[in-house]
Amino acid sequence: MNQDTIKSAVEAALIADCYLLGSHWIYDADALKNLSINWDELNAPCATWHEGKGKGDFTHYGDHAKWLETSVKDNGCFNLDAYRSLWLKNMKTYKGYIDGATKETLEMLEKDAALTQGSHSHDLSIVGSIAPLLYVSNTKADFLASVANFVAFTHNDARVLNVANLFASILYDVANGSSIKDAMNTVEVDASLKSAFDAGVASCDQDTVESIQAFGAGCPVDGGFEGTVHLLSHYDNFKDAMVANAKAGGDSASRGMVVGMIMGAVHYDVPTSWRDGTKGLLSL
């Protein structure tokens, strides 16, 4: 697998997260329409949840993805013990938002320091962080196994794991030369996700804001999964997908990081100002 392709996937996910910080977790339709931000550029966060963050920063999702990238870089592989140690070290001084999955996993680690499977959160957010695992996966089976272990550490929920496996499979195939359309047409969809996947694909010609809000713009995979499939089915332009996703509100960063990593693996153009303005991009 081409290393530049992996780098593009990782960076596009992080840039997507940075762009989406501006409107992340704004749900109210009127508030979204009246936000004092420039939809074409990076912005400081409008939601109080991201107090202390500024223009060019990541949400907490992007921060966790960077920690995975650092762990992979330092160890030359995905080692859950090493990642857990780095994750815990960073969490001790972390100033960003601490979500429910993180809180529950931290509580579980206090009882079992060797924990490998954490909270039962059903949030989509963790899925957009998986791209760095491509750097240290020799086969698709290796990649999918690492994805499952990484995801389960903080989001040990069957539906989240199934969604992660599906998007990981698409990402791997795209990074190896498939088009997004072909990868989505051939991916094996778990029976529990089939109706949601089909609904997301079927919405491809519909308005993005209306579709995502109808599916559910919140954090859970239920709704977030369909919205992400819609974005991948509807758009062949990175910026257009991100702007429409942002205007749909809610947990846009979760959807956007997944779309970003997959579009990045196809080397879709990322706005130069977004790339230049994103702090903390790492390179392996």
Contact 251, 25 (CB under 8 A): yes
Per-residue pLDDT at 275:
97
Give me the residues of the chain with pLDDT under 70, please: 282-284
d(CA 277, CA 161): 33
The two structure tokens encoding residue 152: 């389960």
Long-range Cβ contact pairs of 166-171 (< 8 A, separation 24 or more): 166/190, 166/193, 166/197, 167/127, 167/130, 167/228, 167/258, 167/262, 168/127, 168/130, 168/143, 168/144, 169/140, 169/144, 170/232, 170/262, 171/9, 171/130, 171/131, 171/134, 171/261, 171/262, 171/265
Cα–Cα–Cα angle for 167, 88, 66, rounded to 5 degrees:
45
Q: Where are the beta strands (DSSP E) in 170-230?
A: none
Cα–Cα–Cα angle for 193, 199, 202, rounded to 5 degrees:
135
d(CA 155, CA 180): 26
pTM of the model: 0.98
Tell how far CA 254 is from the center of its chain: 5
d(CA 168, CA 196): 17
Per-residue pLDDT at 284:
55
* CB environment 271-281: b (16+ within 10 A), e (fewer): beebeebbeeb
Q: How many CA atoms lie within 13 A of 100 on its CB side?
A: 10
Per-residue pLDDT at 29:
87
For residue 138, give the 3-state DSSP assignment: coil
Q: In CATH, what class is 3-277? A: mainly alpha
Q: How many CA atoms lie within 13 A of 92 on its CB side?
A: 7
- Residues forming beta bridges with residue 220, ordered by sequence position: 123
d(CA 229, CA 42): 24
d(CA 278, CA 54): 11
